[in-house]
Amino acid sequence: MFYPKSVAIVGASSTQQERGWVARLITAGYKGRIYPINPRATEINGIKAYPTVRDIPEPVDYAIFNIPRRLAPQIMDDCVTRGVKFAHVYTAGFSETDEEGKELEAQLAERAKAGGVRILGPNCMGLYCPASGLTFNPDFPKESGNVTFISQSGAEATRFVFLGNDVGIRFSKVISYGNAIDLDAPEFLEYLADDDETKVIACYIEGVKEGRRYLDAIKKCLRTKPVIVLKAGLTESGAGAAASHTASLAGSKAIWDAFFKQTGAIPANVMEDVSDSILALLYMSRPKGRRVALVGRGGGIGVIASDICERAGLKVPPFRMETRKQLEKIIPEAGAGARNPVETTLGMGGAAEFYEKGLTIVDADPEIDLIITHLAVDVYGGQQPNLPEQVAKAADVLRENVKNLTKPIAVALYTGGHPETVGAVLEARERLLKAGIPVYPGVEAASKAVSKLIGYYETADRIRN
Cite the beta strand spans of 82-213 per DSSP E.
86-89, 118-120, 126-128, 147-151, 171-176, 200-205
* Cis peptide preceding 122, ω within 30 of 0: yes
State which of positions 121-150 bind a second copy (CB under 8 A): 137, 139-140
| Contacts with a second copy, 308-347, as mask; x by CB under 8 A | xxxx--xxxxx----------------xxx-xxx------
Task: Tell how far CA 113 is from the center of its chain.
Answer: 32
Out of 32, 260, 380, 455, name the contact with a second copy by CB under 8 A.
380
Specify the residue, 260 or 380, whose C-beta has the smaller distance to a second copy.
380
Give CB contacts under 8 A, 24+ apart, made by 236-244: 242/206, 242/207
What's phi and psi for 454, nearest 5 deg? -65, -45
What's the gap between Cα 17 and its chain centre?
30
CA 202-204-208 angle, to 5 degrees, is: 115
Question: Scanning residues 31 to 70, which ones bind a second copy (CB under 8 A)?
Answer: none
Structure letter (DSSP) for residue 118 = E
Q: Closest approach of Cβ 55 to a second copy, in Å?
A: 32
Residue in 26, 422, 435, 460 binding a second copy, rule: CB under 8 A: 422
Contact status: 155 vs a second copy (CB under 8 A): yes
Which one among 71, 249, 426, 460 touches a second copy, defined by CB under 8 A? 426
Q: What is the 3-state secondary structure (H, E, C) of 177-208?
A: CCCCCCCCHHHHHHHHHCCCCCCEEEEEECCC
Distance of alpha carbon 24 from alpha carbon 72, whole angstroms: 22
- Interacting positions 160-189 with a second copy (CB under 8 A): 162-163, 165-167
Identify which of 210, 161, 222 has the alpha carbon closest to the alpha carbon of residue 186.
210
| Minimum distance, C-beta of residue 304 to a second copy, in the bound complex (Å) | 5
- Please identify, using beta-carbon distances, which residue of 151 and 459 lies nearer to a second copy: 151
Considering the complex, state which of residue 112 and residue 301 has its C-beta at the smaller distance from a second copy.
301
Nearest to 429 by CA among 405, 446, 408: 446
Pick out residues in 247-276 that bind a second copy (CB under 8 A): 269-271
Among 423, 458, 461, 464, binds a second copy (CB under 8 A): 423
Separation CA 282–CA 285 (nearest Å) = 8
Please identify, using beta-carbon distances, which residue of 167 and 371 lies nearer to a second copy. 167
- Nearer residue to a second copy within complex by CB, 401 or 451: 451
Least distance to a second copy, CB of residue 399, Å: 18
In DSSP terms, 292 is beta-bridged to 370
What's the rounded Cα separation, in Å, for the pair 457 and 234?
25
Q: In the complex with a second copy, which residue's Cβ is closer, 261 or 311?
A: 311
Nearer to a second copy, 60 or 167 (CB): 167
Closest approach of a second copy to the CB of residue 67, in Å: 17
* Backbone conformation region of residue 264, classed left if phi is above 0, alpha if psi is from -120 to 50, else beta: left
Of positions 17, 66, 97, 144, contacts a second copy by CB under 8 A: 97
| 204-233 binders of a second copy (CB under 8 A) | 204, 206, 230, 232-233
Q: Which of 99, 321, 383, 385 binds a second copy (CB under 8 A)?
A: 383
Phi, psi of 87 (to 5 degrees): -115, 115
Which of 241, 364, 405, 435 lies at the binding interface for a second copy (CB under 8 A)? 241
Shortest spacing between CB 395 and a second copy, in angstroms: 14
